[in-house]
Structure 1
Amino acid sequence: MKLKRFMAFGIPLLIAFLFFFPYKHVIAFSFEDQGELVAYFPLKREQNFQIKYTHSIHLSEVLESYRLSDKQIEQTELAYHDFAVGMPSNAEGEEVFEEKDGTYFLKNMNRNFAYIDLRLGQVKANHRLIYDEKTYTLADFIKPGTWVRISSERISLWEQLKGVKISG
């Protein structure tokens, strides 16, 4: 009798738990600030990633480097080629400013965010995610012009089925 009861309620409950339990650590791209998963990038052991784009005014490459924790995104470095609108001209606090071969670097950054909001460029920006030495063009997975919220999340199997997996 107990086995039948377990089979009737326990197994479906266990399957539902496994299906909806958030276990996979990802870089999540959610639609605006609504929390609806648009796309995700599954993490291996590497917790570092970069976002590369073309600056809309001076049309040169910008590279932002990040490290993930369970619920935070830490910006660790910024590399760019032009002092123009939106680009820093000096380091703050413990940060280090360097110039090497025409590229400016802000290193030793320790700027923590719960999330990063990004409007995916429609024309020139060409936003790319760099992870584990591979580059993924975000417009291949997310419609250009879309406002996304990037965050460090754990997602369930159900959420993986609903979102678009970014991978090569």
Structure 2
Amino acid sequence: MKKKHRKGIIFLVPLIILFITILVFIPFKQVLVFEYENTKEVLAYIPLKKEQAFKIKYTHSIHLSDVLESYKIIKNGNIQQYELMFEDFAIGMPSNASEGETFEEIDGKYYIRNMKQTFPYIDLRTGQVRANHRVIFQSNEYSLSDYIEPGTWVRIKMRKLSVIQQLKGVNIIES
């Protein structure tokens, strides 16, 4: 009887080790990830569940007013910009909506809505002086400089992370 028990344990131990290895190293958690440049090194992330929309807010370096870019993750994992809000028609800002989009002015702010620009990722250099890039998720605003060194080039995209990858980055929501 003891021999059968040992054989069961000998068979079960490698199976448990294999299961733990798969659990730790196989990407499974869907996140909005902020990677260092294009290296896939995870700096920070936001876990995604039902809410798959986010916004990036920053202070424009020339006219020093806020710009708010609204995005959502679409079915193929790409990022779609659906709205832009700004306060000044200065350098670097659009002067009107493109075909199929709507342009509105409400309380001194300009909105371009119904945008359908899609990207596999967004490259962003976090501001060092004035920009103060923030990400807004589920009505909460998080300053990227709290998690990512100002001046860093980050790539923002939807990705699945393993437990090990999650440990290497900072969960913006939980920190």
Deviation string, structure 1 residues 120-167 (Cα, Å, up to 9, x no partner): 001100100101111100000100010000001111111111111112
Q: Give a deviation string over 1:48-80, Cα, whole Å, max 9, x none.
A: 110000001111000000001352111010000
Tell me whether 1:142 sits opposite 2:148 in the alignment.
yes
Inter-partner Cα distance in structure 2 for 1:162 and 1:7: 30
CA deviation after TM superposition for structure 1 residue 3, in Å: 2.7
Q: What SS does the corresponding residue of 1:63 show, helix, strand or coil? A: strand
How far 1:5 sits from its partner (Å)?
A: 4.2
User: What letter matches 1:22 in structure 2?
Assistant: P
Compare CA radii of gyration and give the structure with the larger one: 2
- Report the equivalent of 1:98: 104
Any unmatched runs of 5+ in structure 2? Answer: none
Q: Secondary structure at the match of 1:46?
A: coil
RMSD value, Cα? 1.3
Give the alignment partner of residue 161 of structure 2, picking from 145, 151, 155: 155
- Moved segments of 4+, more than 4 Å: none
- Post-superposition offset of 1:6: 2.7
TM-score normalised to structure 1 length: 0.95
Aligned equivalent of 1:10: 15
The runs of 5 or more residues in structure 1 that have no matched partner are: none
Helix, strand or coil at the partner of 2:135:
strand
Moved more, 155-164 or 5-14: 5-14
Match of 2:93 in 1: 87
User: 1:94-122 CA distances to partner (integer Å, 9 max, x unpaired)?
Assistant: 11111111111110001110000000001
Question: Once the two structures are aligned, what percentage of the paired residues are identical?
Answer: 54
- The separation in 1 between residues aligned to 2:147 and 2:160, in whole angstroms, is 20
Show the counterpart of 1:27: 32
